[in-house]
Amino acid sequence: MTSSLGPILCLAGVLFARTGPAQIRRGDAWLSPPGIYPNGTSPALVQSNLFATLRAEAVAGKIQVTWAPDSSRGPTQVVLHASADAPGHWPARDWRSLSMNLRGTTWSAFLAVEDVEEPILYFVRSVSAGAITISPMRILLPQEAGLEEPTRPFWPFLEGFEEGFESWRLLSDNEVSLLGTSTSAKSGRAALMVRMPSGRRSLTLVTTRVRGWLAEQKRASGICLWLRTAEGAGRARFSVLAHAFTTNEVSRVWPADAELSERWRRVDLYFDQLPSFPLRAMDVFSIEFIADGTREFLVDDVQLLGPWPLDPP
């Protein structure tokens, strides 16, 4: 993979110089200028003075994030939020959350790394006596931090909704109540359920889970997923965005809709069906569900297609 970290390494060096010798950590620094937090995270909650000890470092072939609160009344819950990608792409970053564990007076968690050359932005959310505080963002360069190999082996399976649907939402944020999970899964314990209310003929589901840099690096040829309705008929239309929600946005729609019924249907979507699409910059995948009348649509087992076997149908 061609490295594009030159400007980021310079940025990290400047940041280290500002922090002073006691705060220098190879490959890990405060992000400056500050990043834009994901939806639902208010910048007003950021308290930089409370998170001076927040850091990430390579420990025994893994990346460990630690934070030791400087307070006798420590938090009751700490959640780590991380996103692999260069700074920017703020409206369409793929954020993942992970609960941190308390040992003694230090909270810690191990951060999964899929590509040692891909920057990771991270911050923590602390809950103490009902009050929420957020740390400033930090940038981690895994290879510069001493990590030689990824800690998460590549797996084309992207989403099974067993742990919820953190990176999936409807295009209109005020429609969050129309999303949920169902036990009527294609495999495992859960599938994503999209409820089409009366008076609507379509709803658009979007996700940031399908990342262009990973698809290009692993030579993925497309996206595979399973769909059905809970009852009745409907159809689905698929599209992707690159540089999503910016003035440079590029959108492409797959040429054929998928007709859906109460039986699970596998849908294969190949990237070569999309003319002149900048695959590496892909950051949003969308599904428009279309039906006459109230419907419930189910989604499960989203995977990358490529030179590897998929799970049996």
Q: State mean pLDDT over 200-227.
A: 94
Q: What is the pLDDT of residues 64-121, one digit of tens each?
A: 999 999 876 678 899 999 999 889 888 899 999 999 999 989 999 999 999 999 999 9
Q: What is the mean pLDDT of the chain?
A: 88
Q: What is the pLDDT of residues 189-202, one digit of tens each?
A: 999 999 998 888 99
Q: Is the pLDDT of residue 18 over 60?
A: no
pTM of the model as a whole: 0.84
Q: Is the pLDDT of residue 16 over 50?
A: no
- Can you name the CATH fold of 157-305? Jelly Rolls (2.60.120)
pLDDT of residue 243: 92
pLDDT of residue 282: 95
Hey, which of 163-172, 196-205, 208-217, 267-276 has the most confident mean pLDDT? Answer: 267-276
Q: SS3 string of the chain?
A: CCCCCHHHHHHHHHHHHHHCHHHCECCEEECCCCCCCCCCCCHHHECHHHCCCCEEEEECCEEEEEECCCCCCCCCEEEEEEEECCCCCHHHCCCEEEECEEECCEEEEEECCCCCCCCEEEEEEEEECCEEEECCCEEECCCCCCCCCCCCCCCCEEECCCCCCCCEEECCHHHHHHEEEECCCCCCCCEEEEEECCCCCEEEEEECCCCHHHHHHCCCCEEEEEEEECCCCEEEEEEEEECCCCCCCEEEECCCCEEECCCCEEEEEEHHHCCCCCHHHEEEEEEEEECCCCEEEEEEEEEEECCCCCCCC
pLDDT of residue 5: 39
Q: Is the pLDDT of residue 15 over 70?
A: no
Q: What is the pLDDT of residues 248-292, one digit of tens each?
A: 999 999 999 999 999 999 999 999 999 999 999 999 999 999 999
Q: Is the pLDDT of residue 7 over 60?
A: no
Q: What is the pLDDT of residues 146-159, one digit of tens each?
A: 999 999 888 899 99
Q: State mean pLDDT over 31-57.
A: 89
pLDDT of residue 42: 83
Domain coordinates in residue numbering, the chain: 6-140, 157-305
Q: Is the pLDDT of residue 143 over 70?
A: yes
Q: Does domain 6-140 have CATH number 2.60.40.10?
A: yes
